[in-house]
Every structure is written in C-alpha cells, then in structure tokens.
Amino acid sequence: MAKVSGAVVINEERCKGCNLCVVACPTDVLALKSKEVNDRGYHFAYPANEEACIGCASCAAVCPDGCIRVYRMVEK
C-alpha cells in the first residue's frame, strides 16, 4: 500500500502561538514551545511529533499568519 509522509516547516518568527494549527491537526503533530519564545514573545508552534505528519495541510489552512509550509510525499 502507498505510504503518505508529510512534513511541515514553521516560520517561527511570524508565528503568534495562537494554537489554531495545533487544534486543526488530525494526527497531533504540532505543539507550542512551552518555554522558548520568538522575538515578539510568542510561544511558537513546532512539529513535536513529526513522524505522524501526513502532509494534509489542515494546519496551514487555518493559520491566520501564513506561517506553515507543507510537504507531502507518497511512497509506492
């Protein structure tokens, strides 16, 4: 069966830590940094559980700041 793998790259400086991508992800890939902040003081999002990503772009669809780049690959 074809296996779908995904990966996201988050623009940490643009991110405002709103958590909407975390909620939208169907496979619980994302989380907000609990201690680290960006230059504006936001706890930015990162792929905490990156192996689970399926590249569905749900996170990118709800991100108000266009912070997320999504990659998707199908292995035959």
Partner 1 sequence: MTRQDIIKPENLVYEKPRLLNENHMHYCPGCSHGVVHRIIAELIEEMGLEEKAIGVAPVGCAVFAYKYIDIDWIEAAHGRAPAIATAAKRLNPENLVFTYQGDGDLAAIGTCETIHAANRGENIAIIFINNGIYGMTGGQMAPTTLEGMKTSTTPYGRRVDLNGYPLRITDIAAQLDGTCYVTRQAVHTPAAVRKAKAAIRQAFKNSMEGRGTSFVEIVSTCSSGWKMTPEAANKWMEEHMFEKYPLGELKNTVK
Helices of type H across 1-76: 20-24, 58-62
Minimum distance, C-beta of residue 1 to partner 1, in the bound complex (Å): 15
64 backbone dihedrals φ, ψ, rounded to 5°: -70, -15
Q: Which residues bind ligand SF4 (CB under 6 A)?
A: 6, 8, 10, 15-21, 24-25, 27, 29-30, 45, 53-59, 63, 65, 67-68, 70
| For partner 1, the closer CB: 33 or 72 | 72
Is-contact 74 2, C-beta < 8 A? Answer: yes
| For ligand SF4, the closer CB: 8 or 76 | 8
Q: Exposed e or buried b for every residue in 45-55, given b needs 16+ CB within 10 A? A: bbbeeeeebee
Binder of residue 49, out of partner 1, ligand SF4, none (CB less than 5 to 8 A by kind): none
Binder of residue 4, out of ligand SF4, partner 1, none (CB less than 5 to 8 A by kind): none
